[in-house]
A and B are shown apart, each in its own frame.
Chain A
Amino acid sequence: MVTMTPRHTIVALVEDRPGVLNRVSSLFRRRGFYISSLAVGKSEQPHLSRMTFVVEGDEDTVEQVTKQLNKLIEVIRVSELNEEDIVVRELALIKVHASATTRSEIMQLVAIFRANIVDVGPQSLIIEATGEEDKINALYNLLRPFGVRELMRTGRIAMSRGTLEGRGERGAVQTNGASGGDRS
């Protein structure tokens, strides 16, 4: 979905304990922060998970989001990633109606997008696509005329590029509230 509100990518390293996701989502809900996507999975460190949020809002909102996340005891570190210097991916599964006549056309589109067909049924295909959100959106829009029965997206995961190594995953912006605690 295209929107005029600026989008920000926030990555949080959190302790892998029951209820952490609940704490994080409860925080977003009660403070009225809007998350357009949230993806969670294990990190390279044992007992720690990494969450990627895409948050809509102005700079003040993002500042509050990162500060509030940092207040959660089980959140180890929060970083806002610089949109210029990140690798972004999303995975989508798309179940699209496919008859004998449309199947080959769909397969061509899938090839162009370097997506995969992971299931073939008599009347449908399941397509697996990875890429930036725009690519998924484009593929989805092209498939819609065929009849998309189901769409499932993981939401964005993001990582700052290796050129920023040494600055760690904090990317360009320090947000942990120390050293003056403010970006002004």
Chain B
Amino acid sequence: MKLTGAQIVCESLLREGVDVVFGLPGGAILPLYGVMHQYPQLRHILVRHEQAAVMAADGYARTTGRVGVCMATSGPGATNLVTGIAGAQMDSIPIVAITGQVPRPAIGRDAFQETDVTGITLPVTKHNYLVMEASEIPAAIKEAFYIANTGRPGPVLVDIPKDVLQNETAEFFYPEGVDLPGYKPTLEGHPAQIQKAAKLIAQAERPVILAGHGIILSRAYDEIRELAEKSQIPVITTLLGISSFPTDHFLNVGMPGMHGMAYASMAINEADLLIALGMRFDDRVTGRISAFAPDAKIIHVDVDPSEISKNVRATVPIVGDIKRVLRALLPQVQPSLHPESVQRIEHLRIEHPSHRIRETDKLIPQSILKSLCEITDGRAIIVTGVGQHQMWAAQHYAFKESNHLITSGGLGAMGFEVPAALGAKVAHPDKPVWSICGDGGFQMTLCDLATAVENNIGVKFAIMNNNFLGMVRQWQDFFYDKLYTATSYTGNPDFVKLAEAYGIPAIRVTDKAQVEASIQWAEQEPGPVLVDFMVEPEENVYPMIPAGESLAEMIEEPYMDYSPLAQAEGRA
């Protein structure tokens, strides 16, 4: 039996095991929505803005490891996906975006709601397709899913003209495999390189592991832990590497870089070997490259060959899937101890206790996040936006579970926190999902509170409300003579009333004493809730290594108590 292009899309999605799709219809993709009722297994979640569709698909993909799927119509629908697609590309997230296009005869004629979506998304997708025949849809979708979630994952866009969806029919035949001669990811590390790596590890006196997002993407949690414990190597986790290794593990040193723990950055600079696993030496990690880890040899493992020696030259490069490379490496690693190195980092930690929160009666985001961590036992899925609240969440939420920090790392897209949390909660209805919002980012995507209500997606929204674009204000504070130009949000709405207008229970917290009760209240509410934390408006994130600078220019918290008594408390 012949099926229409639209039916073929749905059949293909079912063959890929898709159970949920985030989208918003419009003219060019309407034929697809027209047949959706025939496929009740495909749950469609209607969003209020296409950016939410792609970011929800992102949150779904990050928390499941499966491909997230979103849909939008041509023109503005598709262009609204672009920010989310770019973020997925930067953070290596498997997404398939399906967009409607104007009918074939109208393409190239500036038709209503026509944009060159494959052209626009070309630099921000792993690959994309414009499918011009219904019979070509199955292969395109098969390849899209395969490319999205193999090798280094990434977003793939499939653009389909309206007449291909609606008027064309073809026999449905779903291919078993793909024929992509130009796409053969290297998964197994080269044995000689792995041998060299084992030798470097055996020789090192001050090795550290730099654990990146690749650990999470290849689910190599057990392997990294075994490597760290077998050789007693401290583990430093990048922003996206957080929760790849238990935060409370005695070998976990924390996040390095611009707002990382001072001692983590120091440990890197004193190291004689960096074992970089699935991380890409981002400028937020390295600061000024010429001053980064001056004494260290580097073992760099990544599934993407182009990441190796892109920013920092590797001594021993290994191309491959982290889990497979570590499995091959582990038997060759000799058990060892690095007591001096571990003690040295402990000493740095006492001298530069960036993980500590200053004592104050004021309502500061750091202590809110610490309370949240305690009340949720470090087991909530934490979804953040971008800025100060993101850094504080990275610094003060001690993750006990793997892959529980969902954040826009590479692109740094404000507004991510709302839709990505919806996607995470749809994927994990039984787990607590907290969306840690800035008042700036929240207003970029808050329209999708309606999506939460409509589908009863029980995300807990916590706004760190300082009535500022906080991180930008901090830069103005440090580097632009405290001129708070265009960062003060004097016209913020009453977020509690706003939430209530959507039918979401909400409370405002103005006092430190209310924090715990408010979090407990939110936890007990079954559906979506919102807590508006009116935090100290001019609180800064410390430490900070200014952009393009080295560790020597690090700014530490000025009012931190460095007295001998405080030092004696050590890990307080």
Contact = CB atoms under 8 A, between A and B. Distances in A.
Interface stretch (A70-78, A143-151, A154-162): A70-78
Most chain B CB neighbours (cut-off 10 Å) among A75, A178, A181: A181
Interface in B112-129: 118-119, 122-123, 126-127
B309 A75 contact: no
A19 interface: yes
Interface in B300-351: 304-306, 308-310, 313-315, 317-319
Nearest to B189: A180
Contact of A184 (B126, B147, B309): B309
Contacts of A22: 119, 122
A64 B306 contact: yes
Contact of A23 (B122, B130, B313, B319): B122
A22 B306 CA distance: 20
Contacts of B127: 73
Contacts of B193: 180
B180 A184 contact: no
Main secondary structure on A side of the interface with B:
mixed
B192 A74 contact: no
A122 B314 CA distance: 63
Contacts of B304: 71
B182 interface: yes
14 contacts: A15-B181, A18-B130, A22-B122, A26-B123, A67-B305, A71-B304, A73-B127, A74-B182, A178-B186, A179-B186, A179-B190, A181-B308, A184-B309, A184-B315
A73 B122 contact: no
Interface residues of A, number: 29
B183 interface: yes
B309 A180 contact: no
Contacts of B318: 180-181
Most B CB contacts (10 A, CB to CB) among A14, A64, A67 go to A67
A181 B305 contact: yes
A181 B102 CA distance: 42
A84 interface: no
A180 B191 CA distance: 9
B183 A73 contact: yes
A181 B319 contact: yes
B309 A182 contact: yes
A114 B183 CA distance: 44
Interface of A: 14-15, 18-19, 22-23, 26-27, 30, 60, 63-64, 67-68, 70-77, 177-182, 184
B305 A70 contact: yes
Contacts of B310: 64
Interface in B160-217: 180-183, 186, 190, 192-193
Contact of B122 (A26, A60, A64, A75): A26
B305 A73 contact: no
Contacts of B319: 177-178, 180-182
B313 A184 contact: yes
Contacts of A177: 186, 305-306, 319
A18 B136 CA distance: 15
Contacts of B122: 19, 22-23, 26
A76 B317 contact: no
A60 B192 CA distance: 23
B182 A182 contact: no
B99 to A, nearest CB: 16
A74 B72 CA distance: 26
B190 A180 contact: yes
Contacts of A71: 304, 306
Contacts of A182: 305, 308-309, 314, 317, 319
Contacts of A23: 122
Interface string B131-171: 00000000000000001000000000000000000000000
Contacts of B126: 73
Interface centre among A18, A68, A179, A180 (most CB of B within 10 A): A180
Given A60-B309, A180-B319, A181-B319, A73 B192 contact: no
Nearest to A67: B306
Given A71-B304, A71-B306, A180 B192 contact: yes
Nearest to B196: A180
A180 B183 contact: no
Most buried by A among B130, B181, B193, B315: B181
Contacts of A178: 186, 190, 319
Contacts of A72: 182
A33 B304 CA distance: 19
Nearest to B305: A177
Nearest to B180: A73
A118 B304 CA distance: 50
B34 to A, nearest CB: 28
Given A23-B122, A73-B127, A180 B317 contact: yes
Contacts of B315: 184
A60 B193 CA distance: 20
Contacts of B317: 180-182, 184
A60 B126 CA distance: 23
